[in-house]
């Protein structure tokens, strides 16, 4: 399981999705709560803490070096996160079919891994500064799953080619991908929040 925070919806549960908030390296389950609130004020928020520690910093999977991922651990952690979603939906009585991930950096990478390895287990995903966590064989069926990818043109960690590689992979799997390229670096900005909010409000 995962240490986590859950915030009940302030609307009827049937009226809103649940946002799955996935923090970046060195973050925790508290970090993205304010952003979740801004993105969807009435939605339920489910915010787990990554179970891997890298020199004291929580993450959602192991890496051997910057950008060099431990694929076996990604598979283990994505499976555990998927099981956690099932268990949390039962424990907190939210609709398992209506979970939308909002992940930043390492959190975006585990959200992408969840989709690439387990298929349409999310109703949608907002991926802020993601990389390509792995290339699954075969590709999953992501038909109809909306995914927003928000990249930074001046991101020193994630190249444009890397962003396009992930967007292409998701698209080939059938996802409906929207790609936004901001005049930003790797850090989140108000513009990320605005774009994500508008995309979510448009009904994804
Ligand atoms: C990762 O390890 O998932 C990426 O390098 C992003 C990050 O630094 O968290």
Domain ranges within the chain, ordered by starting residue: 4-201
Task: Report which secondary-structure segment, H or E, holds 121.
Answer: none
Q: Among residues 153, 90, 146, which one has the least CA distance to residue 120?
A: 146
Q: 23, 31, 155, 192: which is the annotated catalytic residue?
A: 155
CATH number of 4-201: 3.40.50.1820
Residue-level pLDDT at 13: 65
Which residues have any ligand 1 atom within 6 Å of their CB? 24-25, 63, 66-67, 105-106, 109, 131, 157
**Peptide linkage before 146 cis (omega within 30 of 0):** no
Residues in the chain: 204
Q: Are 114 and 101 in contact (CB under 8 A)?
A: yes
Residue-level pLDDT at 188: 97
Of residues 108 and 12, the one with the higher pLDDT is 108
pLDDT in tens, 30-61: 999 999 999 999 999 999 999 999 999 999 99
Please indicate whether residue 3 is annotated as part of the active site.
no
What is the distance in A from the centroid of ligand 1 to the CA of 129? 9
CA distances to 27, 28, 64, 178 from 69, rounded to whole Å, are 18, 20, 6, 25
Q: Are 79 and 72 in contact (CB under 8 A)?
A: no
Average pLDDT value for residue range 16-38: 97
Share of the chain above pLDDT 70, in %: 99
What is the distance in A from the centroid of ligand 1 to the CA of 77? 15
Average pLDDT value for residue range 127-136: 98
Which atom of ligand 1 is closest in space to residue 67's alpha carbon?
Answer: 5
Of 65-69, 80-84, 156-160, 165-169, the one with minimum mean pLDDT is 65-69
Residue 180 has pLDDT above 70, yes or no: yes
Residue 152 has pLDDT above 70, yes or no: yes
Instruction: Report which protein residue has its CA nearest ligand 1's atom 7.
Output: 106
Please indicate whether residue 105 is annotated as part of the active site.
yes
SS (H, E, C) 123-191: CEEEEECCCCCCCCCCCCCCCCCEEEEEEECCCCCCCHHHHHHHHHHHHHCCCEEEEEEECCCCCCCHH
pLDDT in tens, 184-197: 999 999 999 999 99
Q: Are 104 and 23 in contact (CB under 8 A)?
A: yes
Instruction: Report which protein residue has its CA nearest ligand 1's atom 2.
Output: 106
Q: Provide CB contacts within 8 A for 83, sequence distance 6+.
A: none
């Amino acid at each position: 399981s995962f240490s986590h925070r859950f915030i009940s919806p302030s609307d009827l549960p049937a009226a809103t999705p649940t946002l799955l908030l996935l923090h970046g390296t060195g973050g925790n389950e508290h970090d993205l709560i304010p952003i979740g609130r801004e993105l969807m004020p009435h939605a339920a928020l489910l915010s787990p803490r990554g179970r891997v520690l890298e020199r004291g910093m929580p993450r959602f999977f192991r890496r051997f070096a910057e950008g060099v991922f431990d694929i076996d651990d990604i598979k283990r952690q994505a499976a555990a996160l998927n099981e956690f979603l099932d268990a949390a939906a039962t424990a907190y009585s939210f609709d398992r079919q209506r979970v939308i991930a909002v992940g930043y950096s390492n959190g975006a990478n585990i959200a992408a891994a969840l989709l690439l390895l387990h298929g349409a287990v999310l109703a949608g995903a907002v991926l802020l500064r993601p990389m390509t966590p792995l290339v699954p064989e075969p590709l999953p069926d992501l038909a109809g799953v909306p995914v927003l990818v928000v990249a930074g043109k001046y991101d020193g960690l994630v190249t444009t080619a890397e962003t396009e590689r992930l967007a292409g992979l998701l698209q080939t799997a059938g996802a409906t991908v929207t790609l936004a390229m901001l005049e930003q670096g790797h850090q989140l900005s108000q513009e990320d929040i605005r774009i994500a909010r508008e995309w979510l409000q448009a009904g994804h």
